[in-house]
Structure 1
Amino acid sequence: MPLTPTGTRELLAKLGHQPKRFLGQNFLVDGNIVRKSLDLAGIKAGDTVVEVGPGLGTLTSALLEAGAEVWAVEKDRQLHAHLTETLVPSHPRLHLMEGDAMDFPLAGFDPVAAVSDRLPADTAGGHRTALPTKPFKIVANLPYAISTPWMDAVLSGPLPDRMVLMLQLEAAERYVAKPGTKLFGAISIFLQSAFALEPGHRVPAACFHPRPDIESVLLNLARLPEPFIFPAETKALIRACFQQRRKQLGSILRGKLAPEAAARWFARLEAAGFSAQSRAEQVPVALWRDFAV
């Protein structure tokens, strides 16, 4: 059962732990939201689930009770020690590591290695993005400070089947923003090229301790049947376009692309009703994927 606000304060006091704002330590104290997270993710026995920042273990415990195998990474040394003492001994399906989610975005889980012992010998050393992977999901309460760079790392693949993420509303709105809006950016393109938005759930500030300043949301993302993963070089170019979003694409890309490559992409823009005078936020996701071809 999730801790109540009183129970959370008492446990934190017992541990001598002060919630760290820079780590986004707002602990969930509403059991309905925990259950909603599992429902949205469709968690069932035997699922492999990655969790970022398990904290006091509220969501982790619920995932384990549902029969999932959980891979979790916790940066806070004191909370990692607490979970190691209270959860790890009685849960062999919990793989808990101490570390930074930016260094271990999948908490040490390797979807390729998880099936490598069943691969034919001539494919075992192949390119990782082309190899079979073990299905997995991500269910996590993401700290605001790392949400976008962490998401960027996850979108480099291998991709989870589903992600149910507790996010501050501002971050979630950027991820699902539409072209032509100020919130539309590089991370919107990368995410929407690989995942579809499904119904989520608003989460009031009262569901956390300490209470955050803004509203949160459970973002529910399902992997597309044919997800697109942008190459690293293309991602860097797209980011550069949005870092200078007031400038016309022509003035940005002519200095970054070979003349032939720039001419090809501008021809595609014009065929779709845009031009070199368009700005990055005006161009739809599908055209940005053409940019990578």
Structure 2
Amino acid sequence: MKHPAHPAPQDADRDDAPATNAPLYSPARVRELLTRHGLKPTKSLGQNFLIDGNILRAIAEAGGAAPGVPVLEIGPGLGVLTREIHSRGAQVTTLEKDERLRAVLAETLGDTDVQIIWGDALDFDYATLPAGTRVIANLPYYITGLLLSRFMRAPGIVSATVLVQKEVGQRLAAKPGTDNYGFLSAIAALYGSVRHVRDVPKGAFLPAPDVTSSVIRLDFDRDRPAPEPEFLKFIEAALHHRRKTLRNNLRMIGHDGDAIDAALAALNIRADVRAEDVALGDLRDMAVKLGVIR
């Protein structure tokens, strides 16, 4: 199966090219589509459209878009990233909430076999995805954490390569004992590994967002047993108040102080330690000693 060749880099981002001849991701073409279809990006839906061909290619490449690979995209917008993924032969399913985009997506994706599912990404059943699915998406910033946690729990998803706020990317990749470490860092490590691909400047989007973004790839190890829901709740509580000690956070959720002290002593962990300084293995041992998990 032959797929369209990628545009030459020198043509990729020309804003002065005729809109109808310009690549779909060019600023001129994006503005023309928005104007002709009477559309304005909706801030509440996190709509910031990518207009940098190099970034698009980097995301698709890092995400593993390749012939026959099932790919899930969230929020196709005008179909810019969708077409880049599809051009590499991937089997693309994309979720879109904004019904106003029906006409423009019929135009930009109508000549492809991309499956568009209309509805809220938070209502989608990710457990129905086929094994080997890779998520590649410019995620709406306001629901990033919720979506990532659902990707982690979906057995068919093996990786997620996503555009997120730079701050979120730093939290995802953080290690215990560092400033950015928290619950999101912990659950990402429990399910697999995190790699920072590249930062993305504000100017790569139209309209430009208020913050710098990062492309992050999460790989999920499906050979590991999934962490118990009770353990996830335990970690979330332990890391909830960053300025409090692990002991105080655990007392706040009902654990007996003497039992906490005994567990800390048995594991040779300081009584005044904060949870963000404790390795996940030690937190798991604490959970076992406190009867949270077996």
TM-score range, shorter chain: 0.7 to 0.9
Equivalent residue for 2:193?
196
Tell me the residue number matched to 1:127.
none
Larger Rg over CA atoms: 2
When normalised by structure 1's length, the TM-score is 0.81
Match of 1:91 in 2: 112
In 2 relative to 1, CA 174–240 (structure 1 residues): closer, same or farther, beyond 3 Å? same
- For residue 207 of structure 2, what is the aligned residue in structure 1? 210
Q: CA RMSD in A?
A: 2.6
Q: Which amino acid aligns with 1:244?
A: H
Aligned equivalent of 1:71: 93
The equivalent residue for 2:245 is: 248
The answer to whether 1:3 aligns with 2:25 is yes
| Alignment partner, residue 120 of structure 2 | 100
Alignment correspondent of 1:278 = 273
**1:137-176: CA deviations, max 9, x gaps?**
0100011111112112222231522221111101111111
Q: Using the alignment, how far apart are the partners of 1:220 and 1:178 within structure 2?
A: 16
Indicate conservation of the 8 Å contact 2:196/2:215, yes or no.
no
Counterpart position of 1:110:
128
Per-residue CA distance 1:225-284 (angstroms, 9 max, x = gap): 744533223222322222222222223324536659x948963x5455424432221112
What CA deviation, in whole Å up to 9, does each residue of 1:11-38 have, x standing for no partner? 1111111111121111001111111112
Contact 1:157 / 1:229 at 8 angstroms: preserved in 2?
A: no
- Distance change in 2, residues 1:169/1:105 (3 Å): farther
Query: For structure 1, which runs of at least 5 residues remain unmatched after alignment?
Result: 115-133
Q: Which residue of 2 aligns with 1:140?
A: 137
Unaligned runs of 5+ in 2: 1-22, 288-292
The answer on whether the counterparts of 1:105 and 1:154 sit within 8 Å (CA) in structure 2 is: no
Matched residues, number: 266
Name the structure 1 match of 2:39: 17
SS at match of 2:122: coil
Does the 8 A contact of 1:47 with 1:136 survive in 2? yes
Counterparts in 2 of 1:248 and 1:266: CA distance versus 1, 3 Å: farther
- 2: CA distance between counterparts of 1:69 and 1:173? 30
For residues 47-100 of structure 1, what are the alpha-carbon distances to aligned partners after superposition, in whole Å with 9 as ceiling and x for unaligned?
A: 0011111100011112222111112111111124432x23564333x2211222
Identity of aligned residues (%): 33
Q: 1:236 to 1:157 in 2, by over 3 A?
A: same
Structure-2 change in CA distance of 1:4 and 1:87 (3 Å): closer
Instruction: Report if the CA contact (8 A) 2:64-2:134 is conserved.
Output: no
Aligned residue type for 1:7? R
- Where 1:201 maps in the other structure, the secondary structure is strand
Partners of 2:222 and 2:117 in 1: how far apart? 32
Q: Which residue does the alignment assign to 1:181?
A: 178
**Aligned partner of 1:23: which letter?**
L
Secondary structure (helix, strand or coil) at the match of 1:188 reads: helix
Q: Work out the CA distance in 1 between the residues paired with 2:223 and 2:232.
A: 19
Tell me the equivalent position of 2:12.
none
1:44 match: 66
Task: Give 1:122's aligned residue.
Answer: none
For residue 243 of structure 1, give the secondary structure of its aligned residue in structure 2: coil
Instruction: Answer with 39-48 or 228-237: which moved more.
Output: 228-237
TM-score normalised over the length of structure 2: 0.81
Match of 1:172 in 2: 169
* Contact kept? 1:155, 1:229, Cα under 8 Å: no
Higher relative contact order (CA 8 A, sep 6+): 1
- Which one is further off, 94-103 or 24-33? 94-103
Q: Secondary structure of 2:67's partner?
A: coil
